[in-house]
Amino acid sequence: MTLTLRSEQQELARRTGVKELDYRRLCYKQSNSRQSFQGFNAASLRELTSSSSACFNITLCIRGERMSSLVRPPLGPRTSLASQALNTNPPSNQTRSGPPVTDAACAPFPSFGRPPRSPTSQLGRRGFNASLQDSCSRTVDQYPFLAVGKSALPNSTKSNFLSQGSERLAAPRSGKGGVEMSVATAPKRVMRTVKLSEVAGADLQQLLSRPRIDFKSIFDTVGPIIENVQKRGDEAVREYTAKFDGANLDDVVVKVSDLPDPQLDPDVTAAFDVAFDNIKAFHAAQKKTQALVVETMPGVQCRRVARPIDRVGLYVPGGTAVLPSTALMLAVPAGIAGCKTIVVATPPRKDGSIAPEVLYCAKKAGVTHILKAGGAQAVAALAWGTATCPKVDKILGPGNQYVTAAKMLLQNSEAMISIDMPAGPSEVLVIADGGASPAHVASDLLSQAEHGPDSQVVLVALPGVDLDAVRAEVDRQCDALPRGSIARKALEHSYIVEVETAAQATSFSNDYAPEHLIVNVEDAEDWLPNLTNAGSVFLGRWTPESVGDYASGTNHVLPTYGYARMYGGVSLDSFVKYMTVQNLSKEGLQNLGPSVAKMAGVEGLDAHRRAVTMRLADIESGR
SS3 readout for 344-367 = EECCCCCCCCCCHHHHHHHHHHCC
CA distance 405 to 411: 10
Q: 335 with 446, same domain?
A: no
Q: Tell me, what's the pLDDT at 336?
A: 98
Domain termination site, one of 386, 419, 452:
419
Within a domain: residue 99? no
Q: Tell me, what's the pLDDT at 64?
A: 34
What residue ranges of the chain have pLDDT lower than 70? 1-190, 319-320
* Ordered DSSP codes for 484-501: HHHHHHHHTT-EEEE-SS
CA distance 63 to 144: 8
* Crossing angle for the helix pair 467-480 and 438-449, to the nearest 10 degrees: 50
Among residues 302, 283, 320, which one has the least CA distance to residue 552?
Answer: 283
Length of the chain: 623
Q: Tell me, what's the pLDDT at 121?
A: 35
Within a domain: residue 326? yes
Within a domain: residue 274? yes
Q: 512 with 616, same domain?
A: no
Q: Residue 53 contacts by C-beta under 8 Å, 6 or more apart in sequence? A: none
* Crossing angle for the helix pair 201-208 and 502-512, to the nearest 10 degrees: 70
Q: 496 with 531, same domain?
A: yes
pLDDT tens digits along 368-415: 999 999 999 999 999 999 999 999 999 999 998 999 999 999 999 999
Task: Give the number of C-alpha atoms closer than 13 A to the C-alpha of residue 184, restricted to the C-beta side.
Answer: 20
Q: Tell me, what's the pLDDT at 303?
A: 97
Q: 475 with 339, same domain?
A: no
Among residues 621, 525, 482, 579, which one has the least CA distance to residue 141?
Answer: 482
* CB atoms closer than 10 angstroms to residue 209: 12
Instruction: Determine the structural domain holding residue 251 and report its residue range.
Output: 216-419
The sign of the dihedral angle between the CA atoms of 397, 398, 400, 401 is positive
CA distance 590 to 512: 52
Within a domain: residue 596? yes
Domain termination site, one of 419, 438, 461:
419
Within a domain: residue 512? yes
Q: 383 with 465, same domain?
A: no
Within a domain: residue 126? no
Q: Tell me, what's the pLDDT at 153?
A: 31
Q: Which helix (H) or strand (E) holds 248?
A: none
Is the omega angle on the peptide bond into residue 73 within 30 degrees of 0, that is, cis? yes
> CA 366: distance to chain centroid?
29
CA distance 254 to 334: 19
Q: Tell me, what's the pLDDT at 188?
A: 56
CA distance 56 to 54: 6
Q: 308 with 432, same domain?
A: no
Degrees (nearest 5) of the Cα angle 324, 357, 419?
30
Pairing outcome for strands 394-396 and 418-419:
parallel
Q: Tell me, what's the pLDDT at 289?
A: 80
Helices H / strands E in the chain, number of each: 17, 28
120, amino acid identity = T
Domain termination site, one of 368, 390, 419:
419
State the virtual CA torsion across 441, 443, 448, 454 in degrees, nearest 10.
90
Q: Tell me, what's the pLDDT at 213?
A: 78
Residues with catalytic roles: 515-516
Among residues 484, 550, 556, 542, which one has the least CA distance to residue 268?
Answer: 550
Strand locations in 359-425 (E)? 369-371, 394-396, 418-419
Q: 353 with 461, same domain?
A: no
Within a domain: residue 182? no
Q: 260 with 324, same domain?
A: yes
- Answer yes or no: are the C-beta atoms of 7 and 109 closer than 8 Å: yes
Within a domain: residue 493? yes
* CATH code of 378's domain: 3.40.50.1980
- Answer yes or no: are the C-beta atoms of 274 and 327 closer than 8 Å: no
Q: 415 with 442, same domain?
A: no
* CB atoms closer than 10 angstroms to residue 261: 11
State the virtual CA torsion across 613, 614, 620, 621 in degrees, nearest 10.
160
Q: 397 with 261, same domain?
A: yes
The total domain count for the chain is: 3
Q: Tell me, what's the pLDDT at 205?
A: 95
Q: 431 with 340, same domain?
A: no
- Answer yes or no: are the C-beta atoms of 475 and 446 closer than 8 Å: no
Q: Which helix (H) or strand (E) holds 483?
A: none
Q: 341 with 489, same domain?
A: no
413, amino acid identity = S
Degrees (nearest 5) of the Cα angle 378, 576, 554?
80
Count Cβ atoms within 10 A of the Cβ of residue 494 and give its class: 0-12 exposed, 13-18 middle, 19 or more buried: buried
Among residues 315, 314, 371, 310, which one has the least CA distance to residue 341?
Answer: 310
